[in-house]
Amino acid sequence: MSSLSQSSRLPCGRRELDFSRAHVMGILNVTPDSFSDGGRFNRLDAALAHVERMIAEGATLVDVGGESTRPGAAPVSVDEELNRVVPVVEAIASRFDVVVSVDTSTPEVMTASASVGAGMLNDVRALERPGALQAAAASGLPVCLMHRQGEPRNMQDAPGYSNVLDEVSVYLDGRVRLCEAAGIERSRLLLDPGFGFGKSLEHNLELFAGLQKLQLAGLPLLVGVSRKSMIGQVLDRPVDQRLYGSLALVALAVNSGARILRVHDVAQTLDVVRMVEAVIQAASHETKQ
């Protein structure tokens, strides 16, 4: 069971996060083809109304994505992603007291989003695209590095690992070192194991079971499993019936030390997070007596 005693504060542009408690990151996909809510929030008024709801439910971060990374997704052009993402980031940052995270691998989107108020960069490709390391370093923002195998269009074709936990750990450690060499301080980095990104059900379950071992040198963990196919495979549920499975994984993630939970269902997730934290806190207090 993870301890909540260590507190660290992460500057995120004009705002900051206190990691003495876990945070809920609400998902805002401004795409036509995301696996769960594609097309629902393409209009600015619909996107802002959804952000307002998520903040009222307790989200302290909103993750804005303009390129679907679901299995089989096709890439979008730089201009299209800029047009989808930047106006939304600017509108959220100017209206709401929330950290705006940008779910992007595109250097131009990183730079433009940082200039209009983004507080975090969340890259499923861990800054591998040409120019991404430099753009992230210049932004001064914290960066979440995610592990994946392959690209969205083919990542679920035949994922393979000799030891998924070891290989994810080695990859993330290598990306951290490259970031430091590029001028991104270790204190600005977060890690995401990348559940569902080039991993079979067995890989996802093994990775989740070893989640606590992925906390490299105290770097905060972001976990995103909301409504994902691993839940559907275990429970035989379609996307719109995966809430309870998602919440079960949230509880396990918080117990393993996750500091950000990226979800579609904010209010329900926050209840689970706070309940698990109360038990962890009581256990920590009991140990000290």
Going 76 to 51 to 143 to 153, the CA torsion angle's sign is: negative
Cα-flanking dihedrals φ and ψ of residue 251, to 5°? Answer: -60, -45
Q: What mean pLDDT comes out for the span 217-228?
A: 92
- Whether 166 is covered by a domain: the verdict is yes
Taking a C-beta distance cutoff of 8 angstroms, is the pair 269, 263 a contact? Answer: yes
Per mean pLDDT, which range of 51-65, 146-160, 187-201 is the poorest? 146-160
Q: What is the pLDDT of residues 27-48, one digit of tens each?
A: 999 987 554 554 566 789 899 9
Range of 1-5, 65-69, 141-145 with top mean pLDDT: 141-145
- Whether 72 is covered by a domain: the verdict is yes
**Which contacts of 262-265 are long-range, i.e. CB under 8 A and separated by 24 or more positions?**
262/25, 262/27, 262/63, 262/222, 262/223, 262/224, 262/226, 263/24, 263/25, 263/26, 263/27, 263/224, 263/226, 264/26, 264/27, 264/36, 264/37, 264/226, 264/227, 265/226
Q: What mean pLDDT comes out for the span 49-78?
A: 90
Residue matched to tokens 């900051």: 16
Q: What mean pLDDT comes out for the span 135-156?
A: 88
- Whether 264 is covered by a domain: the verdict is yes
Q: Give the CATH number of the domain where residue 208 resides.
A: 3.20.20.20
Tell me how crowded residue 284 is: count the other CB atoms within 10 A of its CB: 14
- Whether 2 is covered by a domain: the verdict is no
- Whether 4 is covered by a domain: the verdict is no
Give the span between the Cα atoms of 246 and 192, in whole angstroms. Answer: 16
What mean pLDDT, rounded, does the chain reach? Answer: 91
Task: Please give the pLDDT value at position 14.
Answer: 92
Q: Examine the pLDDT at 164 and tell me if it is beyond 90.
A: yes
Q: Examine the pLDDT at 270 and tell me if it is beyond 90.
A: yes
Tell me how crowded residue 286 is: count the other CB atoms within 10 A of its CB: 8
Per mean pLDDT, which range of 4-18, 92-106, 226-240 is the poorest? 4-18
Active site (catalytic) residues: 228, 262
DSSP state, residue 67:
S
- Count of domains for the chain: 1
DSSP state, residue 155:
T
Query: What's this model's pTM, rounded to 2 decimal places?
Result: 0.92
- Whether 82 is covered by a domain: the verdict is yes
Q: What is the pLDDT of residues 79-114, one digit of tens each?
A: 999 999 999 999 999 999 999 999 999 999 999 999
Task: Please give the pLDDT value at position 31.
Answer: 84
Q: What mean pLDDT comes out for the span 111-129?
A: 98
- Whether 214 is covered by a domain: the verdict is yes
- Whether 255 is covered by a domain: the verdict is yes
Task: Please give the pLDDT value at position 5.
Answer: 45
Domain of residue 88: give its range.
Answer: 9-288
